[in-house]
Amino acid sequence: MKRTLYEVMRLKRICQMIAATCLGSFILVIFYFQIIQRNPFMIDSCRKGSRKALQELYNPAQMELSGSADLHQARRDQLWNVCQMYNASSHRRQVLTPGDLKHLVVDEDHELIYCYVPKVACTNWKRIMMVLTGRGKYSNPMEIPSNEAHLSSNLKTMNQYSIAEINHRLKNYLKFLFVREPFERLISAYRNKFTLKYNSSFHKRFGTRIVRRYRKNATDDALLNGDDVKFKEFAEYLVDPATQREGQLNEHWETVHQLCHPCHIHYDLVGKYETLEEDANYILRLVGVGDYLHFPSYTKSTRTTDAMTAKFFSNISSKQQIQLYQLYKFDFLLFNYSTPSYIQMD
């Protein structure tokens, strides 16, 4: 008897959860249509107090940085045109769920949203976000150890808010992301996760699986450690339909399109890795902290370059090159990167 009662309670709980989820999706549908129907850049731009950064961005006449404002307008237009051309703002999934927003880092104090893309200076941006949200706890971003910057508990992400709070923030905060040439980002991820020996967690999680699936005559050692994955094998793994069926790719090689949903969320600023410091400091000035907070200069000598990327791609077949291009094509188009010259489209 007791047991049945427990079962009933459990069923009731499940029903409540389903109802809540459905309601949540419904509200997100509404929020989606709101975003699409209103131009988020024009909305009541005179409200007092808030959205200083947005106001400055969309009133470039008041700023000496109007050249940068024009550049970012051109990037937004380009992005939006591609979204429309490919019906991307309506195709596939029309509705975002809070789970889709876990890469959006929120800074309530400065009304700022940063969508982080791994391998695009994201550690330094997380450090900056920690300084911005730390209320004086940190002053120098470089004093924050990188492993601390990646602790999820140190920054608040959008999926932790209620639907109403999400809608409000998406509508009123300054939203930005940083992108990078897609293949350079991919090679950077490959080098970082598969060719370095110091951290074996990716070798175990992905390396062993890749060796098992794509290497004939793999040694027992390779099968056990997965620490010598060739780029060719990694490429095979990426374009394998079985990989697609397993769900989202790991964030280090997932497309920006899938991580940040730039056709659904209208980012105010698209920063580029190629002009990292310039774009980053422009954003910090817009936010009003440019006087005392600067983006850390990048001097990493191991940085993945275009020439290095070309070398890795020269090692895989033309067919694989084209398959990889297809996989990342949308990122190339959305962010105006031209097809690399080393790709053999024959």
Ligand X SMILES: *[C@@H]1O[C@H](CO)[C@@H](O)[C@H](O)[C@H]1NC(C)=O
**Count of H-run helices and E-run strands, the chain:** 16, 5
Alpha carbons 144 and 163: distance in angstroms, whole number = 32
Q: What is the nearest approach in angstroms of ligand X to the Cβ of residue 158?
A: 21
Q: What is the nearest approach in angstroms of ligand X to the Cβ of residue 336?
A: 4
Q: What is the nearest approach in angstroms of ligand X to the Cβ of residue 33?
A: 16
Q: In what order do the strands lie in the sheet with 156-157?
A: 156-157, 104-107, 112-115, 174-179, 269-272
Q: b/e for 52-84, b at 16 or more Cβ within 10 A?
A: ebbebbeebeeeebeebbebbbebbeebeebbe
Q: What is the nearest approach in angstroms of ligand X to the Cβ of residue 201?
A: 4
**Which residues would be at the binding site for ligand X (CB under 6 A)?**
74-75, 78, 87, 199, 201, 216-217, 231, 311-312, 315, 336, 338
- By CB atoms closer than 10 A (0-12, 13-18, 19+), residue 209 is middle
CB-nearer residue toward ligand X: 163 or 308: 308
Crossing angle of helices 276-287 and 66-85, in 10° steps, is: 110
Q: What is the nearest approach in angstroms of ligand X to the Cβ of residue 149?
A: 12
CB-nearer residue toward ligand X: 111 or 268: 268
CB-nearer residue toward ligand X: 216 or 245: 216
CB-nearer residue toward ligand X: 97 or 317: 317
Q: What is the nearest approach in angstroms of ligand X to the Cβ of residue 76?
A: 9
Q: How many other CB atoms are found less than 10 A from the CB of residue 108?
A: 14
CB-nearer residue toward ligand X: 86 or 165: 86
Dmax over CA atoms of the chain, in Å, equals: 75
CB-nearer residue toward ligand X: 62 or 338: 338
CB-nearer residue toward ligand X: 156 or 191: 191
What is the DSSP pairing of strand 156-157 with strand 104-107?
A: antiparallel
**What values do phi and psi take at 42, rounded to 5?**
-105, -10
| Distance in Å from the first CA to the final CA of the chain | 71
- Encoded tokens for 296: 């850390």
Q: What is the nearest approach in angstroms of ligand X to the Cβ of residue 337?
A: 8
CB-nearer residue toward ligand X: 75 or 126: 75
Name the residue among 83, 96, 79, 115 with its Cα closest to residue 32: 96
